[in-house]
Amino acid sequence: MAIAYAHESTADQRRANRTRAVEGRTVLCRVRRCDGPGKAGRWESFKVPVEPGMNVIACLKHIAQNPVTVDGNTTTPVVYDAGCLEEVCGACTMLINGMARQSCSCLIDEYAPLEGDTITLEPMTKFPVIRDLWVDRARLFQSLTRVKAWVPIDGTYALGAGPKESPEVQQDRYDMSECMSCGCCLEACPQFTIEPDEASWDTSFIGAHAISQARLFNGHATGKELKNDRLDELMNPGGVSECGNAQNCVKVCPKGVPLTESIATIGRQVTIRSFTRFFSGK
Amino acid sequence: MTATDGPRQSHHLLLRRLHSLSGLVPIGVFLIFHLTTNASVVWGAANTRMPGEGLERGVQTFQHEVSWINDMPGLLLIELSLWLAIGFHSILGVVYAVGGKPNVGAYKYPDNWRYTLQRLTGYVGIFFIFYHVATLRWGWSFLVPGGTVWSHEYAASTLAAALRGSYEGFTGAGIAVSIGYFLGVTCLVFHFANGLWTSAITWGLTVSEKAQKRWGMVCAGLGVGLMGAAWMALIGFLLTDPVDARALEEGMLSGAHEVQAEQDEGAIGSAEPGREP
Helix axes B209-239, B172-202, angle to 10 degrees: 160
Distance, CA of A116 to CA of A112 (rounded, Å): 8
> In the β-sheet with A118-122, what is the strand arrangement from edge to edge?
A41-49, A26-34, A118-122, A93-96, A99-102
What are the structural domains of chain A? 6-134 (3.10.20.30), 137-280 (1.10.1060.10)
DSSP code of residue A39: P
CB A70 within 8 A of CB A46: yes
Distance, CA of A76 to CA of B84 (rounded, Å): 61
What are the structural domains of chain B? 13-256 (1.20.1300.10)
Q: What is the pLDDT of residue A90?
A: 96
Tell me the chain B residues in contact with residue A239 when contact means C-beta distances shorter than 8 Å. Answer: 12-13
Average pLDDT over residues A70-99: 96
Q: Quick check: A86 pLDDT over 90? A: yes
* Cα–Cα nearest to A234, from A245, A246, A226: A226
Band of pLDDT at residue B176, cut at 50, 70 and 90: very high
Q: Quick check: B111 pLDDT over 60? A: yes
CB A98 within 8 A of CB A9: no
For A34-53, the pLDDT digits (tens) are 999 999 999 999 999 999 89
Q: Quick check: A2 pLDDT over 80? A: no
* Cα–Cα nearest to B11, from A272, A279, A236, A201: A236
Residue A196 phi, psi (nearest 5): -65, -25
Q: Is A247's CB within 8 Å of B109's CB?
A: yes
Distance, CA of A32 to CA of A95 (rounded, Å): 10
Which residue in chain A is spatially nearest to B200 when comparing CA positions?
Answer: A264
For A110-168, the pLDDT digits (tens) are 999 999 999 999 999 999 999 999 999 999 999 999 999 999 988 899 888 889 999 99
Question: DSSP E strands: which ranges in B67-133?
Answer: none
Average pLDDT over residues B28-52: 95
Which residue in chain A is spatially nearest to B113 when comparing CA positions?
Answer: A246
Q: Quick check: B247 pLDDT over 70? A: yes
Q: Quick check: A195 pLDDT over 70? A: yes
* Cα–Cα nearest to B34, from B165, B118, B128, B167: B128
| C-alpha neighbours within 13 Å on the C-beta side of residue A229 | 19
Please report the residues numbered 187 through 206 in chain A whose beta carbons come closer than 8 angstroms to any beta carbon of chain B. 188, 190-191, 193, 202
CB A109 within 8 A of CB A54: yes
* Cα–Cα nearest to A244, from B195, B50, B255: B195
* Cα–Cα nearest to B177, from B144, B154, B149: B144
Q: What is the pLDDT of residue A154?
A: 86
Q: Quick check: B268 pLDDT over 50? A: no
Tell me the chain A residues in contact with residue B95 when contact means C-beta distances shorter than 8 Å. Answer: none
For B179-205, the pLDDT digits (tens) are 999 999 999 999 999 999 999 999 999
Q: Which of A184, A236, A253 to mutate to test the interface with B (most CBs of B within 10 A)?
A: A236
Query: How much is the pTM?
Result: 0.91
Residue B85 phi, psi (nearest 5): -65, -40
A164-199 exposure pattern, b = at least 16 Cβ within 10 A, e = fewer: eeeeeeeeebebbeebbbbbbbbbbbbbbeebeeee
Distance, CA of A164 to CA of B268 (rounded, Å): 71
Distance, CA of B106 to CA of B90 (rounded, Å): 28
Three-class secondary structure of residue B103 per DSSP: coil
Could you say which of B3, B6, B111 has the minimum Cβ distance to residue A247?
A: B111
Distance, CA of A31 to CA of A40 (rounded, Å): 14
- Predicted complex ipTM: 0.92
* Cα–Cα nearest to A31, from A8, A64, A6: A64
